[in-house]
Chain A
Amino acid sequence: MDEYDELFEIEDQFEEQFADELEVLAQMEEETSQPAQCLKQVQGDDISDMQHLLDNQPSTHKAKRQKQDTGVVRRLFNASQTQQRNVPSQDDNITPPSSPEHYEPSNTFRSTPAVLDISGLAEIPETPRRPVTSPPPSKCVLRRPPLEGDFISVTDSSGNRVYLRQKGEADTKTVNSPNRISPNSHSALGLLALPVRVLREQEAERHHQQVVESQRLTELLVSSLNNVFTDSGNTEDQENEDPQDAEGQTSQLWVERFSPRHYTELLSDDFTNRCLLKWLKLWDNVVFGRERKSRPVRSDRQSANQNSFKLSQGSQNPNRFKSKMEMTEEILEAELDQYKRPKYRVALLSGPPGLGKTTLAHVIAKHAGYNVVEINASDDRSAEVFQKRIDTATQMKSVLGANERPNCLIIDEIDGAPAAAINILLSALNRKDTHGGDAGTETAKKKKKEFVLLRPIICICNDLYVPALRPLRQQAFLLAFPQTQPSRLSQRLAEISTLQGLKADTGALMCLCEKTDNDIRSCINTLQFLHGRGLKQLDSRIIQRVSVGQKDQNKGLFYLWQEIFQLPRTKRKHIGKGFEEAPGSGSGFQRFQHILHLASSSGQYEKISQGLYDNYLSVRVRDPKLQSVSEALDWLLFSDRLNQVILHGQNFSLLRYLPFLSVTFHFLFAHTHVPRISYPHSQQEATSRLLSSRNALSTMLADIPASIRSRIGQLHLTLDVLTLLLDIICPKLRPVNPQLFSSREKELMRELINTMLAYNLSYRQDRTPEGQYTFMLEPRVEEVARFPGLPPRRQLTYQAKQTISREMEQEKMRRAEQMMLQRNPSPKEEERKSAGPKPTRNHQQRLENIVKQTTVETRPEVDFFGRAVGPRPQRPLLSSDSGEKCAVVAMGTAVGNSDVWFRFNEGMSNAVRRNVYIRELQ
């Protein structure tokens, strides 16, 4: 990648270097080049001579030079070592430099008229088109930086650095130092600015274009047979083209043939078109400004460029649509980010098929000067391949070939792409410069180019709400395609049909538009189909009768529900009489068929019936006797039963009866008002809540001891036990310390705790968002037992709950210890015995030595800190023995005899410790 980029850049420099000379040499060319003039003279006379002339090109002055040059090339290839020396010697012979020559032939070709018969032209490119020159030496190549004027430093692979004067006189030759070849010619292909193969392709393309053009002409001729076209040359053309033309007609769809090639031909909504174009233009700064970046005089030029950009933007995009969609407007006006990219780095076009999304993207990308790279569903879109393609499309540029334009990536049909691929796209969008802030330095710039996305990406999808697209939606510039205007569409259809010699009145075409829901593709296809059947006359009746052009389109659930709950409005007056029979209107039979068709084509019967159920009571029903409501419910029961049978017996042939539910609802509840339909959440909500209460109950049941567990099931718990149990565990407690309870109260408390433990209930301290602490009953069965809207039950106070919770913890520990004792009484006994004389482990470790030292002869009464309390004289006695030992002895006796001990630990609050057993906490 690195190398590539370098090469790339050098090439850029090279071109820039030549930019000025090119002009001059192009002028020289005009004077010197004979063949071009010859061509111009010849072209009018005889077309057949053309081939001859082109074949004879070597006889011209320039071609001679070419011959010499090819010789040079051979020598270059044969002895690359000697070549280096040869190069300077040749320099004198060759006066015109290489680069202008590169452009010369293309100039000549451009001058050939498009009307040419190019039947023989395919062979032409075999002759060496590109004159090959080795770079001539120049005084502009300096070993040191020139004192005045701009220059470019060039370093070759061997590390030699030379300086090229940038702004020389017109005759300056820009080449590398004599002992090296230029980087351009370094690659073998580089001897020609365009390799022969590419040239051939170009030629073939041009050939094709001309064929197409002439096809059009002939089509025009064919269509307007009335007008006799008398130009002999053209008729000749026509005769020549005829076989090809017929071939083209059969193979090519009209959709392809009449697809718009220019921005102005686009049929889709103007606003959408403009928005997309404007968005694309936002990229100009980063994409086209980039060419100048490598220049030393970057700063002023770039600013100039920016100015011009702003100007051009202003002129191209007048703020006409400010009132229309301010949101989109804002997005487009938003500032560029640190890499001068628009805020939304990807555009996402969405809309039903046949509105021209793909066409729009292509046309606009071309219009804005990009080279279109398309990825669509037919390509492999697995993650790795996708990554590679994105990288190549956005980071590379075609070096070879005439169209050296920056790429614009169009990802078509993205809604079908796997989520992994979309994630890759997102990561490409969000790639950040690894170097962070210092974007000013040259190295950082280079790195940045590799990592950051600097090319526009346009994504196209039909369904914007595919789950996989969700993350992309948030980062994309969304453009929803509105319906194509039928008037515009029919106008275009009229153009096409007149071109094809099909007589169609506006009414018929409008009818066609309506039938296909303004789907351009479908319209044109239908036209072609009708034309292909030999029809010359088209009226609305035929359109009505024809069964093509109707899509089995999934309309979305909301549309369906709306259709069901809404009576069709009487259609506005249209031209032509076919419109009274439009789907959905008119008689009951047709409504029946319409709804049935919609329901069965959507296929999501479960969702549909759920939506109907959730909404049918909220639509304005005038049903005082509740007859239709109960009938509707009977139908719901029927479909529920049907569903059960289908799922249970896998009897899917019954599925065909499910859509009739929608029809029934339509006839029962359809109303002229626009229904307000909400998405059916109720069932899902109910299921999740049911699940959570079930979970609460089962967690409660899970730890209930077996003897009780065998007596209560989940059902008993909900129906009988729970509410009353919650009442029972809320006794009246005096708000005092539990140690001050009377014996009766203590008894009560013990029972309460027993109950709670037996039924696996406990209090857990929770913090509310307001910062208050509350005790919650765990597991949360309260939610299961309590209903909203009922008088609240008595609740324990926070303090009571706290007391209970504390007591419960103690009881649990007590029980656990008891259980341990029961399970393994013998080791416990031993432990307890040993616990008497021995201190516990950790302070044993610490004070082992001290304790060992002390012989516990006397047991003086000591206070908390080990000072003797009882007989006073003991202390002086001990200390009088010997200072150090006395302290140790005192400590040892203290540790050995009492179970309270401490160790001085600076900054620690738990210095004083005592071992406490649960069984002692009665």
Chain B
Amino acid sequence: MSLWLDKYRPTSLGKLDYHKEQATQLKNLVQCGDFPHLLVYGPSGAGKKTRIMCLLKELYGPGVEKLRIEHQTIVAPSKKKIEINIIASNYHLEVNPSDAGNQDRVVIQELIKTVAQSQQIQSSTQREFKVVLLTEVDRLTKDAQHALRRTMEKYMTTCRLILCSTSTSKVIGPIQSRCLAVRVPLPSTEEVCSVLTSVCKKEGLLLPPELAKQISEKSGRNLRRALLMCEACRVQQYPFSADQDVPEPDWEVYLRETANAIVSQQSPQRLLEVRARLYELLTHCIPPDIIIKGLVEELLNNCDGQLKTEVAHLAAYYEHRLQLGSKAIYHLEAFIAKFMAMYKKFMEDGLDAMMF
């Protein structure tokens, strides 16, 4: 528990640093002792999980914090064994069904249904329901989501679901309509700065506000990353200086270099080099949609204003194809080839216009 990230994580709704209004709303929601299914969504590093755990603590008391890891094996109808890790307390359990890959439907059907079906024995001392926390719901397959639909309704008396995802776009409508959606937006730059300063204060360090600002900007207001960056800065050099180098994740640097390579030259040979870099990214467990997103951001920075809409359109198109297909590398390369063709044409047209 020695990363600042873990050490200074708020544990109750009252101690949350930002979005206090939402915190009180959540508190009110739980106050009456019951709540509907929740769909908590928001970008990574905004504090979704923190908020959920605070809510659970509000609901069940500190017993929720005593966590244990259980390994369960579920046998799919095809006799395939699926191993899944469950993080559980006495009152709730947390599952990441997408760990099971394509077989997540089985996890939903077998595991969640059995949990939901079981009644609490001592309802006088405890709540009448358990909570099942499903993370990364946006990575669930459609089958699994459909399997979830009926379960949510049928076992309402004994079980509440909290779904946690980065966006609602991949959660099917029926599930969205069954849940109370709670959006946790990213903290603002100031909020990130204040969190960083307070953490440093607790550590007995002095953080110059310029550095705090720089960190919060570099982290893209992702609080998890901001805290880690801050700590990394601390390790790098203690008496902080205002214009210190803020370390960044390697893959972002690599992706940026890739984007620069694309912009600097457009030829089949360059495409081949870019392919090698893409493979590198993919094999380092960077998901292809994140790659395409990062690329687009970088490419847009280097593009003329006229091209921007077109590039965004292209990226959207190929990202969609990517979701439908199975070989990510084809789709990424297709996007890049298309961009190259477009960019080259634009540049040549521009040159021609200059000539005449």
Contacts and interface: CB of A to CB of B under 8 A. Distances in A.
Contact of B329 (A624, A634, A686): A686
Contact of B327 (A625, A640, A709, A716): A640
A785 interface: yes
B201 interface: no
B283 A640 contact: no
A784 interface: yes
Contact-size category for A: 35 or more
Contact of A787 (B229, B251, B329): B251
A752 B286 CA distance: 27
Contact of B232 (A640, A716, A724): A724
A466 interface: no
B1 A754 contact: yes
A719 interface: yes
Contact of A711 (B49, B283, B329): B49
A119 interface: no
Contacts of B85: 702, 709
A112 interface: no
A689 B283 contact: yes
B242 interface: no
A625 B229 contact: no
Contacts of B69: 706, 709
B19 interface: no
B172 interface: no
A732 to B, nearest CB: 8
Contacts of A727: 232, 235-236, 247
A758 B247 CA distance: 22
Contacts of B272: 617-618
Interface in A660-698: 682-683, 685-686, 689-690, 693-694, 697
Interface stretch (B120-128, B152-160, B185-193, B263-271): B263-271
A170 interface: no
Main secondary structure of the interface of B (DSSP, over half): helix
B177 interface: no
B130 interface: no
Nearest to B253: A790
A724 B44 contact: no
A724 B229 contact: yes
A758 to B, nearest CB: 6
Given A787-B254, A790-B253, A640 B284 contact: no
A623 B270 CA distance: 13
B297 interface: no
Contact of B231 (A627, A630, A728): A728
A456 to B, nearest CB: 49
B228 interface: yes
A636 interface: yes
B67 A706 contact: yes
A95 interface: no
B67 A719 contact: no
B1 to A, nearest CB: 6
B285 A784 contact: yes
Contacts of A786: 250
B285 to A, nearest CB: 4
Contacts, number: 184
Contact of A617 (B250, B268, B341): B268
A714 B98 CA distance: 11
A722 B271 CA distance: 29
Nearest to B9: A711
A713 interface: yes
Interface string A793-811: 0000000000000000000
A664 to B, nearest CB: 14
A713 B136 contact: yes
A751 B67 contact: no
Tell which of A617, A716, A732 has the most Cβ of chain B within 10 Å: A617
Nearest to B255: A787
Nearest to B50: A711
Tell which of B3, B69, B275, B331 has the most Cβ of chain A within 10 Å: B3
Nearest to A718: B285
A719 B53 CA distance: 22
A643 B325 CA distance: 8
Nearest to B237: A732
A567 B225 CA distance: 54
Interface string B215-251: 0000000101100110110011000000000011111
B94 interface: yes
B251 to A, nearest CB: 7
Nearest to A616: B268
Contact of A693 (B50, B266, B285): B285
Contacts of B199: none
B236 to A, nearest CB: 7
Tell which of A682, A710, A716 has the most Cβ of chain B within 10 Å: A710
Contacts of B354: none
A713 B87 CA distance: 12
Main secondary structure of the interface of A (DSSP, over half): helix
B280 to A, nearest CB: 6
A606 to B, nearest CB: 10
Contacts of A788: 280
A487 interface: no
B233 to A, nearest CB: 9
Contacts of B267: 624, 626
A372 B120 CA distance: 82
A846 to B, nearest CB: 44
B170 interface: no
Given A641-B325, A694-B285, A728-B232, A707 B341 contact: no
B29 interface: no
A24 interface: no
Given A694-B285, A727-B235, A755 B334 contact: no
Contacts of B50: 711
Nearest to B269: A617
B285 A723 contact: no
A613 interface: yes
Contacts of A707: 1, 6, 65, 67
Nearest to B203: A751
Interface in B293-341: 321, 324-327, 329-331, 333-334, 337-338, 340-341
B142 to A, nearest CB: 11
B104 to A, nearest CB: 14
Contacts of B334: 630, 633-634, 636-637
B324 A644 contact: yes
B338 A630 contact: yes
B264 to A, nearest CB: 15
Contacts of A728: 3, 228, 231-232, 235
Contacts of B94: 710
B276 to A, nearest CB: 9
Interface string A706-738: 111111011110111111110110111000000
A621 interface: yes
B149 to A, nearest CB: 21
Contacts of B340: 626, 630
A504 interface: no
A629 interface: yes
Tell which of A626, A630, A689, A723 has the most Cβ of chain B within 10 Å: A626
B355 interface: no
B35 interface: no
Given A629-B337, A643-B326, 6 more contacts: A625-B344, A633-B330, A640-B331, A709-B85, A721-B224, A790-B253
25 contacts: A623-B268, A637-B325, A640-B325, A640-B326, A641-B324, A697-B285, A713-B135, A713-B136, A715-B44, A718-B284, A718-B285, A720-B44, A720-B224, A720-B228, A723-B251, A724-B232, A727-B235, A727-B236, A728-B231, A728-B232, A730-B235, A752-B2, A758-B6, A785-B249, A789-B257
Interface of B: 1-3, 6, 9, 44-45, 49-50, 53, 65, 67-69, 85, 87, 94, 96, 135-136, 222, 224-225, 228-229, 231-232, 235-236, 247-251, 253-254, 257, 266-269, 271-272, 275, 279-287, 290, 321, 324-327, 329-331, 333-334, 337-338, 340-341, 344-345
